[in-house]
């Protein structure tokens, strides 16, 4: 199986592609379609609570014919957050979990889970700790609730899950680790929560395949014109699997997006 996951930062911007960045996003989306992944997970869709418009649905159906499409949009704030799955095979069940998360996080469209005969596939858009770490405590509560949710799935069947998890786990996972020690996404509490997730029985597939390789990042700040050129990035997007699936992973890598900044897609190949 080939799976791809991507924080697209607006489905509509990609489909409209009326700006230089929109054109680059549309180009990446087309490259993903050409790969014909078995399952494609998308985060930060920024759709309305009503989901895809007719134009958006038609554009995706043209790119991904015969895929089943599942959308979880935010009802807390229109055009915010949101996740989506495109799957070549129809799952046994699709759920849009609520995990008793703080504030409005449970209604921000942050998780979708597909159940297949022998495993689950889930995607997540983890809340950011925010400016000045205003949501750090709530973010920690989210991490605890999400980990518990995944453990519940894992008790039934093995799990493959991906998404923008808004944390660089180790110093190797971002370029400027010294100056970002107290920045959202690289605080000690956030990193400790990610460690707890791994300790709960899950494997970071890219780091398993590339244990000591520096410079592998999935996000480059748009605010800096040279972040991508200088590869001053962060690895905050992940494919994780239940430990008992780890030996079945044949490849885990970041898909090249050229000069496009923000998030890059990640890919997983697993013999399952």
Catalytic annotation, pick one of 164, 173, 237, 262 = 164
CATH number, position 208: 3.60.10.10
When pLDDT is averaged across residues 232-257 and rounded to a whole number, the result is 98
**How many independent structural domains does the chain possess?**
1
Whose tokens are 């923000």? That residue is 262
What are the respective helix, strand and coil percentages of the chain, to the nearest 5?
A: 30, 25, 45
> Is 164 marked active-site?
yes
pLDDT at site 205: 98
pLDDT at site 266: 98
- Domain of 238? 2-270
Which tens digit of pLDDT belongs to each residue from 53-84?
999 999 999 999 999 999 999 999 999 999 99
Question: Mean pLDDT score of the chain, rounded to an integer?
Answer: 97
Catalytic annotation, pick one of 67, 120, 125, 238 = 125
Q: Yes or no: say if 126 and 163 are a contact pair by the CB < 8 Å rule.
A: yes
pLDDT at site 137: 97
pLDDT at site 268: 99
> Is 253 marked active-site?
no
pLDDT at site 69: 98
Using a 10 angstrom Cβ sphere, with 0-12 exposed, 13-18 middle and 19 or more buried, the burial of residue 92 is exposed
Whose tokens are 């605010």? That residue is 223
> Is 263 marked active-site?
yes
pLDDT band at 108 (very low <50, low <70, confident <90, very high): very high
pLDDT at site 206: 98
pLDDT band at 117 (very low <50, low <70, confident <90, very high): very high
pLDDT at site 202: 98
**Rounded to an integer, what distance in angstroms lies between the CA atom of residue 13 and that of residue 267?**
22
**Rounded to an integer, what distance in angstroms lies between the CA atom of residue 232 and that of residue 226?**
8
Whose tokens are 């900044």? That residue is 261
Q: Yes or no: say if 75 and 43 are a contact pair by the CB < 8 Å rule.
A: no
Q: In terms of Cα–Cα distance, which of 165, 163, 166 is closest to 184?
A: 166
Which pair of structure tokens corresponds to residue 108?
Answer: 């921000």
When pLDDT is averaged across residues 114-137 and rounded to a whole number, the result is 97
Q: In terms of Cα–Cα distance, which of 56, 57, 86 is closest to 70?
A: 86
């Amino acid at each position: 199986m080939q799976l791809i996951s991507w924080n697209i930062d607006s489905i509509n911007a990609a489909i409209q592609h009326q700006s230089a960045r929109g054109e680059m996003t549309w180009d990446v989306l087309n490259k993903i379609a050409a790969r014909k992944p078995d399952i494609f997970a998308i985060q930060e869709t920024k759709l309305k609570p009503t989901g895809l418009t007719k134009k958006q649905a038609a554009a995706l159906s043209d790119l991904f014919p015969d895929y089943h499409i599942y959308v979880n949009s935010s009802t807390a704030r229109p055009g915010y957050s949101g996740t989506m799955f495109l799957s070549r095979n129809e799952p046994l069940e699709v759920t849009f979990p609520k995990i008793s998360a703080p504030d409005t996080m449970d209604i921000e469209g942050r998780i979708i889970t597909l159940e297949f005969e022998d495993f689950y596939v889930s995607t997540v858009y983890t809340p950011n700790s925010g400016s000045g770490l205003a949501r750090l405590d709530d973010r920690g509560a989210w991490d605890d609730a999400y980990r518990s949710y995944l453990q519940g799935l894992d008790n039934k069947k093995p799990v493959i899950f991906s998404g923008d998890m808004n944390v660089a786990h180790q110093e190797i996972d971002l370029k400027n680790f010294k100056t970002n020690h107290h920045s959202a996404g690289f605080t000690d509490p956030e990193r400790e929560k990610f460690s707890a997730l791994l300790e709960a029985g899950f494997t970071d597939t890219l780091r398993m395949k590339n244990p000591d390789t520096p410079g592998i990042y999935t996000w480059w700040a748009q605010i800096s014109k040279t972040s991508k050129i200088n590869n001053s990035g962060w690895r905050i997007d992940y494919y994780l699997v239940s430990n008992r699936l780890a030996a079945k992973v044949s490849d885990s890598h970041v898909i090249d997006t050229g000069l496009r900044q923000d998030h890059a897609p990640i890919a997983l190949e697993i013999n399952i």
